[in-house]
Amino acid sequence: MTILPLILALPLVGALIVSLLPSEDHDDVRGASMVATVVTFIVSLVLWSRFDASEPGFQFAWSMDWIPLIHSRFSLAIDGLSLLLIVLTTFLLPLTILGSWSAVTTRVKEFHVCLLLLEASMLAVLCVRDVLVFYVFWEAMLVPMFLLIGIWGSEDRLKATIKFFLYTAAGSLMMLAAIVYVYNVAGSFDMEAMATAASGLSTREQTWLALAFGLAFAIKVPLFPFHTWLPHAHVQAPAAGSVQLAAVMLKMGGYGFLRLALPFFPEGIRELALPVCCMAATGVIYGSLMALAQSDLKRLIAYSSVAHLALVVLGLFSLNEIGFTGAVYQMLAHGLSTGALFLMVGMLYERRHTRDIAEYGGL
């Protein structure tokens, strides 16, 4: 087995092993989950060490037939962008398990299975080179996060879970329709073939297709005014869910723009650049002002995320190399800093059972 299938298989094998352990053996469940995530992180470091940054294009390519009838293959390959986000994801999972070691005391086995399945689906999104497989795992990410918020969240978790699911699923359905449209032109779900076919469409077609793809990615980022699900989801989610949601899942929106929307529909993106930049600039200001007004620690970090990720979109839609580079740098920096902040909030809440900033004077 080559290294990319291995990196995807490790969390799945970990989830299978954890699911077979007795539910009452909490320490064994936590220990097995920790081993699975640490081994995955080590393999990602091996991937990093073997990656040749001087070589352009994709590396570690691997593929197998999936649905030959519609020319869809389970194909994997990564470039520098994928690599950075893979290492970020695998680095944060062991820390998330450590951070929830004593905080989660109910349905411990199910909680860790959800975390491992979430890791596997996020890593798959970052590796796949087939747009249909990308969509499958894009949707698969929702299920474990839905469960993490809905089962282990706070008192108003049901409302937050439904809002999160409806927003993200609605955007994804628009993207699915656009994928089918481009597939009918390209005759293949291969990303390179679809990009070639899509870039040859008329400007009007590209603009509508870019809107369909962009809506799914804008909701995931989330870009103003599609952000309203995020603060509620963060406040209700357990600390582990907030870490994964803010530090990794939100980056999938920026990754989607870079991997699919921008290379597929260059003319359409140019048509949309100005209004999207206006929305992003509004999001930076709005998110910052809302963060200043919060009395809840989690809401403060959630609104600051709205501002930070709006800055990422602003960089992407500047449509130049410096903007792209800055956006990727900001995604990684935000993943590390926000992941750390939510872990600290989880630690403080476990000790004081409040997120009210006024209760932490002199901290």
**pLDDT tens column, 133-162:** 999 999 888 888 888 888 877 777 777 778
3-class DSSP state for residue 359?
Answer: helix
- The pLDDT, as a whole number, for residue 312 is 92
The pLDDT mean for the chain works out to 87
DSSP of 88-127, one letter per residue? HHHHHHHHHHHHTTTT--SSHHHHHHHHHHHHHHHHHHHH
CB proximity list for 149: less than 8 A, separation 6 or greater: 157, 160, 161, 164, 233, 236, 237, 238, 241
Say yes or no to pLDDT of 281 above 90.
yes
Secondary structure letter of residue 62 according to DSSP? E
Say yes or no to pLDDT of 1 above 70.
no
Distances in Å between the Cα of 198 and the Cα atoms of 73, 119, 122, 149, 181 are 19, 31, 25, 37, 9
- To 5 degrees, how large is the angle CA 2–CA 123–CA 52? 55
Say yes or no to pLDDT of 100 above 60.
yes
pLDDT digits (tens, 9 = 90+) for 186-198: 888 888 888 888 8
In the block, which residue shows the tokens 């299920």? Answer: 143
Say yes or no to pLDDT of 286 above 70.
yes
Cβ neighbours around 64 below 10 Å, total? 9
Q: What is the dihedral of CA 40, 44, 49, 52, to 10 degrees?
A: 150
Q: What is the pTM of this model?
A: 0.89
- The pLDDT, as a whole number, for residue 22 is 85
Contact 13/21 with Cβ under 8 angstroms?
no
Contact 108/168 with Cβ under 8 angstroms?
no
Contact 37/87 with Cβ under 8 angstroms?
no
pLDDT digits (tens, 9 = 90+) for 33-65: 899 999 999 999 999 999 888 888 888 888 888
